[in-house]
Amino acid sequence: MTEKIQIDVWSDIACPWCYIGKRNLEGGIAATSNDPDAPQVEITYHSYELSPDTPVDFDGSEIDFLATHKGMPKDQVSQMLDHVTQVAQGAGLEYNFDVLKHTNTVRAHELLHFAKAHGKQHEMAERLMSAYFTEGKHVGEIDSLVALAAEVGLDADAARAALQSQQYLDDVRADQAQAVKFGIQGVPFFVINGKYGVSGAQPADAFAQVLRQVWAEETEPAAS
C-alpha cells in the first residue's frame, strides 16, 4: 500500500502569505478529493520566524512596523497591505490589519509543537492565524495563547506549563535549523516527500497539479 504524500510546511503565523498558502493548499487537496485515485496527504507545519527580533509588545501598527523593518514609505506599505488583503479575500480569508497586534511569534511556534504532540497541530495553526490576522488577538502573550489552545480542545494547564518552561523551544530551533539546511529564505515553503520544493502561496490549482503528479509517481508500478 502506498504511503501518504508527506507535505512539510515552513511558515510563520504572522506571515500573511502563509495563511493564504495554507488555504490554497487545502483548496488544492479538496480539488483532488473526487479523483478516482485521490492523493492521500499528510501535512506537518514547521517553525519559521520572519522577524525574530520583534518585541512581544510592539508599540505601533502593522504599517509602523513594516515601514521601519523594511525601510519603506508608509503609503507604500499601506498599498502593499491593501493588495495582500485583496488576495486573501480571494482565498476566502478576511484580514484586518487595522486591529492586528504585531508581536514576536516564538511562543506561538512553541504552542504549535505542543499541539502537534497532542494531535491538534492543524487546528492550532488555523486558530492562531485567524486570531492574528482576522481578530486582532495578541498571540505573543502566554495568557492569550493558553486561551486559544483551550478553544481547540487542548488542556489549558498543560499548555501554560509547556510555554512557561519553554518545553518545545528546542523543537522550534530544530525546525529553523532544518530550514537553513534546505536553503529556505522565505515562507511559505512546502517540501513534498522530502524531495520537491514549492515556494510561495501558489494557487489552489497549482497545488492540485503537483499533488496529482507526485501521487502518480508514487503509485506507478515499479518497472520489472
pLDDT by residue (tens digit) across 14-41? 999 999 999 999 999 999 999 999 999 9
Residue 65 and residue 100 in contact, taking contact as beta carbons nearer than 8 Å: no
State the fold for domain 5-219: Glutaredoxin (3.40.30)
Question: What percent of the chain lies above the pLDDT cut of 70?
Answer: 97
d(CA 115, CA 124): 6
**Spatial CA neighbour of 50 closest among 163, 198, 188:** 188
Query: Which pLDDT belongs to residue 50?
Result: 95
What pTM did the predictor assign? Answer: 0.95
The yes-or-no verdict on residue 78 having pLDDT over 80 is yes
Q: DSSP label at 102? A: -
d(CA 82, CA 65): 16
Cell, residue 64: 509602523
**Spatial CA neighbour of 202 closest among 66, 14, 29:** 29
Residue type, 82: D
The yes-or-no verdict on residue 97 having pLDDT over 60 is yes
The yes-or-no verdict on residue 2 having pLDDT over 80 is no
d(CA 77, CA 69): 11
Residue type, 122: H
Average pLDDT, integer, range 194-218: 95
Domains of the chain, residue spans: 5-219
pLDDT in tens, 98-146: 999 999 999 999 999 999 999 999 999 999 999 999 999 999 999 999 9
